[in-house]
Amino acid sequence: MNKLQNKKILLIISGGISAYKSLELIRRLKDNGAHVQCILTEGGAQFITPLSVSALSGELALTKLFTQETEHRISHINLSREADLIVIAPASANMIAKMAHGLADTLASAVLLAAIDKPVLVAPAMNHRMWENPATQENVQKLMSRGILQIGPASGDLACGTKGAGRMSEPDEILDAIKKHFAVVGPLQGKKALVTSGPTYEPLDPVRFLGNRSSGKQGHAIAKALRDQGAEVTLVSGPTALPEPESIKTIHIETARDMLSACLSEPSFDIAVCAAAVADWRPLSVAEEKMKKEGSTPSIDFTENPDILKEIAQKEKDRPALVIGFAAETQDLATYAYKKIICKGCDWLIANEVGQDKAFGCEENEVTLLRKNARDEIVAQNWPRSSKQDIAKKLVQEINVFFKSQGAL
């Protein structure tokens, strides 16, 4: 999967003759599927034009702080908040000094000051004497101590006719550094994971459907946590209001049969997490036209939907090494959860209560993890109420431990 697909890159172009290379960098980023928003400083605009930057990026090149046009469309705070990575290429000596000392007198420096939780990559470019100046080196060290990433500068012929360190790295080199930043190397590197999430909708007629209140937040959080640990993730999602997670293959479905078909059509997986709230039944027949009130209440016959968790857990060929199911209950949680892990044939089961502001649609969850041990005994572990993101991370930590114990990591 393309590591830069749908990544939001904020490119700051400061003053220097090498600003012309930034135009090629924009093109290469776009070719790799990234969204590129550019800030062109006053110095940068002495070498390339806002029009050329806008034409290549497909976005308005921003140049000034507190203009009515730009602040109305996108504030300088949101510029840093929405970026996945901020790249400064070229990064002039002046820009590096402003970053080191926390100045905010321009759009670029204000955005960088607000980017306290965002990764920043600088590609320095300046005369070699400016680069070697102790003040510049001290500023660079300050940035490195704060976790700022750096590429270059390279040595060679400089615009002033001299030779030395100070050349901005080539666009391909900067692109490789950006790709390296987004390349996740974690304990699950090389593992493939399948995650189902959200509800299923079973149509009654062209307008109505049978569904449930699942938001997909827990399933999507698990998919992202697996991705962040290096797994290659496929997410099969029912209808939700959630955006597609980045760097995850997402398949959108509506019905339980659609979900089963999507899961079985994918290649073999090492991990399967069936977090979707799949409808147990569907109407035996679907009305071709919208059902009307005609003096009597319609009678609807139902038939059982396929059991996706059971189908995956009991596969004779290419069964995932670890199959995890979910049990959502409104009563007798422990009783139903123990029965489900046995009859479904899954290895682990996450049980949670739903209804009355519990689980479905909420930001937090409280779960019990059931696992079969080496003697086929079921061991339960209660996890306290916490955010769904934290539960997802905790589950993936347990998955890491499982594969380590199997000698598969």
3 within domain boundaries:
no
Q: Are residues 295 and 375 in the same domain?
A: yes
CATH number at residue 246: 3.40.50.10300
Q: Are residues 156 and 38 in the same domain?
A: yes
Q: Which of 38, 160, 346, 362 is catalytic?
A: 160
Name the domain boundary from 155, 182, 209: 182
Q: Are residues 165 and 204 in the same domain?
A: no
Q: Are residues 164 and 263 in the same domain?
A: no
CATH number at residue 70: 3.40.50.1950
Of the given ranges (9-23, 76-90, 223-237), which has the lowest mean pLDDT? 76-90
Structural domain range at position 384: 192-405
Tens-digit pLDDT profile for residues 366-383: 888 999 877 778 888 899
353 within domain boundaries:
yes
Which pLDDT band, with edges at 50, 70 and 90, does 355 fall under?
low
Tens-digit pLDDT profile for residues 136-157: 999 999 998 888 999 999 887 7
Cα 330 to Cα 350: distance, rounded to the nearest angstrom: 14
Q: Are residues 171 and 226 in the same domain?
A: no
What mean pLDDT value characterizes the chain? 89
34 within domain boundaries:
yes
Examine the pLDDT at 226 and tell me if it is beyond 90.
Answer: yes
396 within 8 A of 229, measured Cβ to Cβ = yes
171 within domain boundaries:
yes
Give residue 81's pLDDT.
86
Of the given ranges (129-133, 320-324, 373-377, 397-401), which has the lowest mean pLDDT? 373-377
Give residue 164's pLDDT.
81
Q: Are residues 159 and 278 in the same domain?
A: no
48 within domain boundaries:
yes
Give residue 78's pLDDT.
82
108 within 8 A of 95, measured Cβ to Cβ = yes
Q: Are residues 40 and 101 in the same domain?
A: yes
Examine the pLDDT at 71 and tell me if it is beyond 70.
Answer: no
Q: Are residues 175 and 218 in the same domain?
A: no
278 within domain boundaries:
yes
106 within domain boundaries:
yes
Examine the pLDDT at 409 and tell me if it is beyond 60.
Answer: no
Name the domain boundary from 182, 204, 226: 182
150 within domain boundaries:
yes
Which pLDDT band, with edges at 50, 70 and 90, does 169 fall under?
very high
Report how many domains make up the chain.
Answer: 2
Q: Are residues 273 and 346 in the same domain?
A: yes
Share of the chain above pLDDT 70, in %: 93
Q: Are residues 387 and 256 in the same domain?
A: yes
Tens-digit pLDDT profile for residues 246-265: 778 999 999 999 999 999 98
Q: Are residues 139 and 18 in the same domain?
A: yes
Which pLDDT band, with edges at 50, 70 and 90, does 405 fall under?
confident
- Which of 186-190, 224-228, 308-312 reaches the highest mean pLDDT? 308-312
Q: Are residues 172 and 202 in the same domain?
A: no
Name the domain boundary from 143, 162, 182: 182
> Mean pLDDT over residues 2-27, rounded?
92
Give residue 365's pLDDT.
79
- 160 as an active site residue: the answer is yes
